[in-house]
Each structure stands twice: as C-alpha cells, then as structure tokens.
C-alpha cells in the first residue's frame, strides 16, 4: 500500500507549550491510541501533560520507541530553532521524526544530515506519497463507510474514530482510514488527500481503503464538503475513490453558513445526502446514508435531545452526537 | 493574474520529427495563433512543415522572437540530448524556452545554467504557478462559458478555440482560457488545472477567468468529465471555480464507454447537463446549457446530419460539429 506509514510505538513531543489546546495532535494520539504512545517529552518543566510517562530520548529508545512525533504546532507552523537539538538527539538515537507542521522536516538541512547519518526517517505527514495512480473505479472487496460533511470542521474525524472504537467493541473487523494530517498521525498511516495533485485524487482515495475481507469495514475520514466553494473537488475525489457502501453526514448544530465563506448558505443535510448518493452511485450503486452525526456542543441538554429527535424523525435516520451518545445507533443501521 | 505567461512571438521547434501527427502542439499553435508564430526550426532537412518560415536562432532573435517553443513530443516525453545544443543556443540569444513535455526543463542542469547566464526563462507549462489561493466563490464581473465533456478527449479544447474564433469574427469581446498544457501554449497563458494540488483547484480555476467587462466572454477549456472515475474531481473544481453563466457539452458520436475505463458506461448528455447545472448553480444560479458540440468524424455525412438533428430535437438545443458547422448556432444561444 503506497501510503504514509508511521512506525509505532511513539514518544510524543509537546514543545514548550503549556496550554493543551495547542497540542491537539498529541492529545488526539494519546486519547485514541494510548497503547501506541509510550511517553511524552517536553522542553519545559511545567509543560503539557498528556497523561503519559515523561521520558528522555534515551529512555524512549531503550523502551523500544520507534517514532518521535511532533504533537504540537508552533505559532506560524514553523520548526523553531529551539526544537532542533532534541530532534537531532532523537534522530541520532534512531527514532524517526514525524510531523504535520507546515514547514517541512525535509527542508531543514540539520535534520536531513542527522537523519542520513543514523538512517532514521523524517516523515512529513502533509506530503503525499510519490507516484500515486489515477483512479480506476474498480470495485474492491470489503466494505466502506465514509464521513461526509455539511462543511469543514464539523466532526468528521472524530465521528470516524468513534465509529471505529464502537465497532471494535462489538468485535467487528474495522479500521479507521485517515485522509488528513492529524488523522494520519493517529492512525499511523494514510494519505493527506487535500495535498494530492488533482489528477490523482480519486486514485489516492482508492489506496486508502484497499481490498479487504468481505466482513471488514473501512471507516474513512472525510474532507471538506461536497457543497464547499473552495474544497468540493477534494470531497468529490475522496467520495469517488472510496466507493462507499454507506456514509454518515456530519454536521454542527446551529451552523447556517459555510465557515469562512459567509455568503454561502450551508447546504441542508438532505441536499448533502442527495448529492453524495448521486455521485457515489456511479462507483457503488448500493450506496446509502446510514445516519447523521451532529456536534451539539453549543446546545443545552434539552435543546440537544429535541434537536436530535426532530432531525431523526425528519430524515428517518439515526441521529447522534458521538461525544455524548456514541455511534451504536449508526452502526446498527449499517 | 497568477498564471503561466508565455512571451510572444514564437519560434516553433519540431525536433527531428517527420510526421506531423507527432507535432500536435506546434500545428495547433500555427493553426490557431498564426499571427504569433514567426517561424519554425527543425533538426533535420526534411522535417515537419507547419507552413511557417524556416529560421535559425539568430534570425529569430533578430526578428524579435521572444520564445522558443517545443512543438513536438519525444518518445517517452523526455528531453533528448540531441535537443540540448540548440536549446542552449536559444537561451544564449535571450529566448525563453517553453515546453509541455513530461521531463521538466528546469530539471536539466545544462539548461538551468544557460538560462541563468542570459536571463531567459525555462517555462514548464505542466507546472502550475506557486502560491495558488483557495477558491472564494466570489462572483466575478464579465461572462463565462465553460466546455464540459461526456468524457476526456472529446473536443473540449477545439470547441473552445472555435467558439473564440467565431465570437471574435462577430466582433464579440472574448478570450479563450486555457486549463491544459496544449491550450496554454496556444493561448500564451493559463494554468494546467490537472496538475494543481487538490485544495487549490477551484482557486486556480477562479484565476483563469478574472473580473472583466460586463460584455466580455471567457471561453474556458474544460478538463476531464464530471462522471469520470479518475478525473471527475478535476472537472468539479474547474466548474465551481469558473462559475459559468453558460456551458457547452462536448461529446464524440459513437462513444459508449469511458475511454480507458471500459467498465463505465458513458453518461448521457442529459445526465451531464443535469449534474453540471446542479453543481454549478451554487456559484451561479443562472447557469444554463447553451449547446452541444459533437465530434462526428466517425460518421458519414448522411449519418452526421441525422445524428445532429435527432440530438437537437431530443435536447431542444443547438447541436453542431464545430469542425464542419462552426459554432455560430451555439453562440446565437448565449
């Protein structure tokens, strides 16, 4: 499989940060993949605590850690000079460095040199693999459920991770498939779909969920939104390449316009369902919507219950907030 | 405007080719932009004749030529060593070298050095400009007509060029806008949409047809096909970014399946119209189909007339073969 691959287990680097909201990647990894996170390392005494053991580079190497993962973002997305000494130490100890920051690890000569010396890798998760193919449309074995959104940033990644968790709890054979940088760091593999050259979009999406067992479900992280003025083509390429059997519409309660594109009304959930089926049917005629996942964090408990039950009646579909309800109702409908 | 720009006039290089079918780019430029093509240059005595004066590099430079344009493709898309001496001579004379071959001009050290020395440019038309923006969806002034296809390679570029020609003949204010490499070389500017990173697809398409006079028409070259298993997302990004007032469906008579994806039935023209309107209406509610352009080269004259008149009745739209009928009937319907 030509995707980015991160070697486990991990040591999570949280820089000099003291506020956990700036370490979303690190906390996401500790939350969703605790079994792969051996420890954390900070540049300061009272740094962020992800609930993992503090480790030096040497301790991590001795504990079998394979990757030093940048779990925080610097202001501006760069790689501060203050990070470089410890990065070099990690590389010298044979640990790969994995990062999703804007600045490429592979563009920093000191790191490139250190990596060359030890044979460790610099893994930029924003950089798609080379030699991606054009999409074939060939039907693959196994089953797929794709997250689609009424907009960006409505909980598509969270919903997919929650579904994978809830499916595994039932003993179902399933994998979260990551199409964005944070998802890739959590999953340990994937392709940053939005960074792929247009001609290879659906081809890249096909690689994300390869042939599998007949009862296996790929739970695929969505990107963008099929009605988005900036990113709809990303969503379309992912939809066509994923050839999903099922999809979940993700939405944020109370959002009326496309965030950052305020002249554009948010599409209705019905519109998103209709267009997703219309386009997806070409590569999978059996495609169907199996539920709606709503971020209801802006609603009170009463409002939330009312909102979800009204929506569920209107659409005749299970509608849940995965943070509060889990995703069992949607999985029941697969 | 952040697009590729080629300086006119041109000297067209046809390599050592003797068969004009291998010099489509060169013959396209000589056919559609004869006023910009000052001369041709071949490596062999009995090379391809595009109907232009033969010129040496020196003669071209003296005649004011600004760009040495590679009008042929080598087998394998490379840059043969046999081409390099004359390329260096052109660069030394201050001519830009412009090429759409697979191998990048900017990856050949000899050429990079020679260009640096003289200040001439190496223009790779397959390489999109840097720093493309994300699409905004903002409505631009002026009018736009986009070519869309039932498939790839059905005559979208040819139709757009013919429309521009026929509109100019009537004194209409219009420009062909190129979204692919050959089109860019003919137009002298453009963006190779299929090589753009997914996140910036509709943003790149927006740059192709900037704000213009209220009576100005951009005639935009299409790419891919909105039902194509490999390339539909390219078509979607171009559609959303172009925000066309009008579109023309391009089709090849007799084609039943998507070429190279033979398990996929070709969509009907009606399906293409419906989906194009459905998606395009989001950025331009007045979008409409103004005609159908059919490549009828595989039909006899009788079959052709029958085919086009039946189609025209079925769709209630002007249906023409632009090679035989021109595009006036479609322009009348704008």
Domain presence at residue B137 = no
Burial of A26 (0-12, 13-18, 19+ CB in 10 A): buried
Tally the C-alpha atoms within 13 A of residue B37's C-alpha that lie toward its C-beta.
28
Whether A113 and A137 have beta carbons less than 8 Å apart is answered as no
- Asked whether the beta carbons of A189 and A5 are under 8 A apart, the reply is yes
- Both A157 and A112 in one domain: the answer is no
Collapsed DSSP state (helix, strand, coil) of residue B5: strand
A74: pLDDT confidence band, cut at 50, 70 and 90? confident
Residues in contact with A239: Cβ distance below 8 Å, sequence separation at least 6, in sequence order: A146, A148, A205, A226, A276, A279, A280
Tell me whether residue A135 is in a domain. no
Domains of chain A: total: 2
Residues B73 and B118 placed together within one structural domain of the fold? yes
Residue B59 has pLDDT above 90, yes or no: yes
- The confidence score (pLDDT) of residue A78 equals 87
First to last CA, chain A: 26
d(CA A181, CA A294): 22
**Domain end call among B89, B124, B159:** B124
B181 and B103 in a single domain? The answer is no
User: Is B140 an interface residue toward A (CB < 8 Å)?
Assistant: no
Share the mean pLDDT of chain B: 96
List strands edge to edge, sheet with A37-41. A37-41, A10-13, A67-70, A96-99, A122-124
Residues A96 and A202 in one domain: no
Query: CA A146: distance to chain centroid?
Result: 12
Same domain, A77 and A185: no
- Taking CB atoms and an 8 Å limit, are B196 and A198 in contact across chains? yes
Q: What is the pLDDT of residue B77?
A: 80
Closest CA to A179 of A133, A150, A220, A127: A220
**Bridging pattern class, strands A174-177 and B10-13:** unpaired
**What percentage of residues in chain B have a pLDDT greater than 90?**
93
Shared domain check, B211 and B114:
no
Q: What is the pLDDT of residue A48?
A: 92
Q: Which residues contact B106 (CB under 8 A, 6 or more apart)?
A: B112, B122, B124, B127
How would residue A75 be classed by pLDDT, with cut points 50, 70 and 90?
A: confident
What pLDDT was estimated at residue B301? 94
Q: In this predicted structure, what is the pLDDT of residue B76?
A: 78
**Which of A304-308's residues contact partners 24+ apart within 8 Å by CB, and which partners?**
A304/A253, A307/A253
**CA angle A228-A234-A237, nearest 5°?**
125
Nearest CA to B208 out of B195, B219, B197 is that of B219
Q: What is the mean pLDDT of residues B166-176?
A: 98
pLDDT score of A97:
98
Q: Name which of A111, A62, A64, A70 is nearest A91 in CA terms.
A: A111
User: What is the per-residue pLDDT for A2?
Assistant: 80
pLDDT value of position A318: 98
A136: in domain = no
CATH code assigned at A93: 3.40.50.720
pLDDT for B1 beyond 80: no
Residue A102: count of CB within 10 angstroms of its CB: 13
User: Shortest CB distance from B199 goes to which of A137, A195, A263?
Assistant: A195
Kindly state whether residues A155 and A299 are assigned to the same domain: yes
Whether residues B114 and B148 share a domain: the answer is: no
Query: Is the Cβ–Cβ distance between A68 and A94 less than 8 Å?
Result: no
CB neighbourhood size of A94 (10 A): 13
Same domain for A115 and A158, yes or no, is: no
Q: Does residue A134 form part of some domain?
A: no
User: Does position A101 have pLDDT exceeding 90, yes or no?
Assistant: no
**ipTM over 0.90 threshold:** yes
B117 falls within a domain: yes
Position A215 in a domain? yes
**Is residue A132 one of the residues assigned to a domain?**
no
* Final residue in a domain of this structure, among A124, A157, A191: A124
**What is the edge-to-edge ordering of all strands in the sheet holding A174-177?**
A174-177, A217-220, A143-149, A246-252, A288-295, A319-320
For the segment B155-165, the average pLDDT, to the nearest whole number, is 97
Q: Which helix (H) or strand (E) holds A318?
A: none
Binding-face residues of B in 189-208 toward A, CB within 8 A: 193-199, 201-203
Question: Which of the four pLDDT bands, split at 50, 70 and 90, describes residue A21?
Answer: confident
Instruction: Please state, in angstroms and rounded to a whole number, the distance separating the CA atoms of residues B71 and B20.
Output: 10
Same domain, B87 and B176: no
CB-based contact B234 A199, cutoff 8 Å: yes
- Same domain as B151, residue B104: no
Please answer yes or no on whether B234 and A234 come within 8 Å at the CB atom.
Answer: no
- Is A137 part of a structural domain of the chain? no
Clarify whether residues A115 and A153 are in a common domain: no
Detail the DSSP E strand segments found in B143-285. 143-149, 174-177, 189-190, 217-220, 246-252, 257-258, 261-265
Contacts of A236 in chain B (CB under 8 A): 232-233, 236
Q: What is the pLDDT of residues B62-73, one digit of tens each?
A: 999 999 999 998
Residue B177 has pLDDT above 70, yes or no: yes
Residue of A232, A242, A243 for testing the chain B interface, max B β-carbons within 10 Å: A232
CATH number at residue A269: 3.40.50.300
HSE-up of A42 (CA within 13 Å, CB side)?
Answer: 18
| CA B148/CA B219 separation, integer angstroms | 11
In which element (H, E) is residue B288 found? strand B288-295
**Cα–Cα distance between B334 and B288 in angstroms, integer?**
9
Give the E-state strand segments of chain A in sequence order: 4-5, 10-13, 37-41, 67-70, 96-99, 122-124, 143-149, 174-177, 189-190, 217-220, 246-252, 257-258, 261-265, 288-295, 319-320
Q: Which of B230, B240, B278 to mutate to test the interface with A (most CBs of A within 10 A)?
A: B230
Over residues A188-210, the mean pLDDT reads 96
Pick the residue with more confidence: B20 or A83?
Answer: A83
Residues of A in contact with B285 (CB under 8 A): none
The mean pLDDT value for B305-320 works out to: 98
Residue span of the structural domain in which B91 resides = 4-124
Residues sharing a CB contact under 8 Å with residue B195, sequence separation 6 or more, in sequence order: A197, A198, A199, B126, B127, B128
Listed residue (B34, B29, B33, B2) closest to B13, CA to CA: B29
Query: pLDDT (tens digit, 9 = 90+) per residue, A34-66?
Result: 999 999 999 999 999 999 999 999 999 999 999
């Amino acid at each position: 499989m030509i995707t980015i691959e991160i070697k486990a287990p991990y040591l999570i680097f949280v820089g000099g940060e003291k506020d956990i909201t700036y370490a979303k990647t690190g906390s996401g990894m500790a939350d969703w993949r605790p079994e792969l996170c051996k420890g954390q390392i900070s540049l300061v005494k009272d740094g962020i605590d992800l609930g993992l053991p503090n480790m030096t580079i040497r301790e991590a190497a001795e504990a079998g850690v394979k990757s030093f993962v940048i779990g925080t973002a610097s202001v501006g997305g760069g790689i501060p000079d203050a990070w470089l000494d410890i990065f070099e130490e990690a590389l010298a100890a044979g640990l790969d460095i994995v990062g999703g920051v804007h600045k490429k690890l592979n563009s920093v000569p000191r790191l490139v040199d250190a990596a060359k010396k030890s044979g460790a890798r610099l893994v930029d998760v924003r950089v798609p693999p080379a030699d991606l193919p054009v999409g074939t449309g060939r039907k693959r074995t196994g089953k797929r459920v794709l997250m689609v959104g009424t907009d960006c940033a409505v909980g598509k990644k969270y919903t997919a991770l929650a579904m994978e968790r809830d499916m595994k709890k039932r003993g179902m054979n399933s994998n979260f498939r990551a199409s964005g940088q944070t998802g890739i760091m959590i999953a340990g593999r994937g392709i940053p779909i939005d960074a792929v050259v247009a001609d290879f979009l659906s081809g890249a999406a096909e690689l994300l969920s390869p042939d599998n067992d007949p009862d296996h479900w790929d739970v695929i992280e969505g990107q963008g939104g099929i009605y988005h003025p900036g990113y709809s083509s990303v969503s379309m390429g992912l939809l066509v390449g994923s050839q999903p059997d099922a999809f979940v519409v993700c939405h944020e309660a109370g959002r009326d316009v496309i965030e950052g594109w305020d002249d554009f009304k948010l599409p209705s959930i019905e519109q998103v369902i209709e267009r997703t089926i219309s386009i997806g049917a070409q590569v999978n005629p059996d495609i169907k919507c199996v539920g709606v996942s709503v971020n209801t964090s802006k609603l009170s408990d009463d409002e939330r219950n009312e909102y979800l039950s009204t929506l569920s009646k209107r659409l005749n579909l299970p509608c849940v907030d995965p943070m509060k309800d889990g995703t069992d109702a949607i999985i029941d409908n697969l």
